[in-house]
């Protein structure tokens, strides 16, 4: 098993030397970014429910990072690259999780921009919106991180170039669910660990909310709690992947994960009580998009979009990005609560305060 060499990194812009190793530098840039700070109020599965113990994106990416880094040490992989991919892979998620992603994708396609994919948006965010000049291996890991349940084995495409990466980015706007093989073993590891990490944690959240009981879980070799799932899946992944040039799970454990994932979709992700506000959220996406675009086209640098987003973007972004894409990017970067407060400010009538003579 060949770890990604620190000396084989590629960045779009050449830089001077740093005392950090290249992939550790990616980690530092990601965790100090504004996008990373917004994770704390971005929904993982359950939105609009007040409960301090529910998983948000900030916790999810840390759980993926911790799990994947631990396995990478056993496998002799590049821990810093694993951490960079794991911590940054979900920054492209819009408000209200995958449901919000679907609504934003509808809007994006109607505006002729192509489909919206959070994996692609994670790449765009750190390349165009908040440019960090991350390495190709890290950006590639973002783009390829989802689809971990498409197969039990993931073999990297090590020769992938920037040109091929950008081609895959373009393909995401046509087929947002298309599955891509990562460039590195580290990217393949995070791809697998992402799914394993959220399945058990989502079950624990659902039990805490009283949506399901532990006795409802299907009987599989993975056990019935998050700790057992991580332990058994981790052991299996190490046994199947050690000394190989791919990351894999056994057929038996992969089948168990698919069974558990199907249960989660049926009993948790599609739980009817979570969807009572769905029509409002969808409408809010459309109303907010239309208001922001109309305001920007009429008022330019006096608009809400400019003062709260565009004023700090690069000249290249301002010049090369369509107005509709700018609005999509602004909305995609919002936290759940900021989305609601912006909607209220721009669309909901406010009290009028008259000055007294």
CB-based burial label for 302 (10 Å; 0-12, 13-18, 19+): exposed
Question: Over the Cα atoms of the chain, what is R_g?
Answer: 21
pLDDT score, position 8? 82
- Report d(CA 244, CA 111) in Å as an integer: 45
Beta bridge partners of 56: 43
pLDDT score, position 48? 60
Q: Consecutive 10-residue runs of the chain (357 residues): their mean pLDDT? A: 86 91 97 94 71 73 96 97 98 93 97 97 98 98 93 96 98 95 98 95 92 96 96 98 97 97 94 88 97 98 98 97 98 95 93 75
pLDDT score, position 274? 82
Would you tell me how many other CB atoms lie within 10 Å of the CB of residue 326?
Answer: 21
Domain ranges, ordered by start, for the chain:
6-275, 278-346
Find the angle CA(121)-CA(123)-CA(44) to the nearest 5 degrees.
Answer: 50
pLDDT score, position 47? 67
- The encoded tokens of residue 307 equal 């003062």
Domain 6-275 is found in CATH 3.40.50.720:
no
Strands 153-154 and 247-248: antiparallel
CB-based burial label for 164 (10 Å; 0-12, 13-18, 19+): middle
- For residue 8, give the nearest of 159, 143, 132 by alpha carbon: 159
Q: Within 13 Å of residue 160, how many CA atoms lie on the same side as its CB?
A: 26
- For residue 212, give the nearest of 221, 220, 222, 202 by alpha carbon: 202
pLDDT score, position 37? 93
What's the pTM value of the predicted model, to 2 decimals? 0.95
């Amino acid at each position: 098993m060949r770890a990604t060499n620190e000396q084989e990194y590629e960045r779009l812009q050449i830089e001077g030397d740093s005392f950090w190793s290249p992939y550790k530098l990616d980690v530092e840039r990601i965790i100090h970014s504004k996008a990373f700070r917004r994770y704390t109020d971005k929904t993982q599965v359950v939105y609009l429910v007040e409960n301090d113990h529910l998983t948000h994106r900030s916790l999810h990416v840390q759980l993926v990072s911790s799990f994947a880094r631990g396995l990478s040490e056993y496998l002799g992989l590049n821990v810093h690259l694993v951490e960079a991919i794991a911590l940054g892979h979900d920054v492209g998620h819009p408000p209200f999780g995958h449901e919000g992603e679907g609504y934003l994708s509808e809007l994006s396609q109607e505006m002729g921009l192509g489909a919206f994919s959070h994996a692609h948006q994670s790449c765009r965010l750190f390349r165009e919106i908040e440019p960090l000049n991350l390495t190709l291996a890290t950006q590639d890991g973002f783009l390829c991180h989802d689809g971990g349940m498409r197969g039990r084995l993931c073999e990297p495409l090590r020769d992938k170039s920037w040109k091929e990466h950008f081609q895959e980015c373009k393909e995401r706007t046509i087929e947002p669910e298309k599955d891509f093989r990562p460039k590195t073993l580290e990217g393949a590891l995070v791809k697998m660990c992402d799914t394993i990490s959220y399945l058990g944690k989502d079950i624990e959240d659902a039990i805490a909310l009283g949506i399901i009981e532990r006795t409802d879980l299907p009987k599989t070799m993975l056990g019935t709690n998050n700790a057992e799932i991580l332990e058994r899946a981790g052991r299996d992944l190490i046994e199947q992947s050690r000394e190989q040039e791919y990351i894999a799970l056994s057929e038996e454990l992969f089948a168990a994960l698919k069974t558990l994932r199907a249960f989660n979709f049926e009993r948790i992700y599609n739980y009817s009580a979570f969807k009572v506000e769905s029509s409002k959220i969808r409408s809010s996406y459309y109303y907010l998009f239309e208001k922001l675009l109309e305001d920007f086209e009429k008022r330019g640098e006096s608009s809400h979009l400019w003062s709260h987003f565009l004023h700090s973007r690069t000249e290249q972004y301002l010049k090369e990005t369509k107005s509709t894409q700018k609005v999509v990017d602004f909305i995609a970067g919002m936290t759940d609560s900021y989305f609601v407060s912006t909607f209220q400010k721009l669309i909901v009538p406010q009290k009028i305060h008259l000055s007294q003579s």
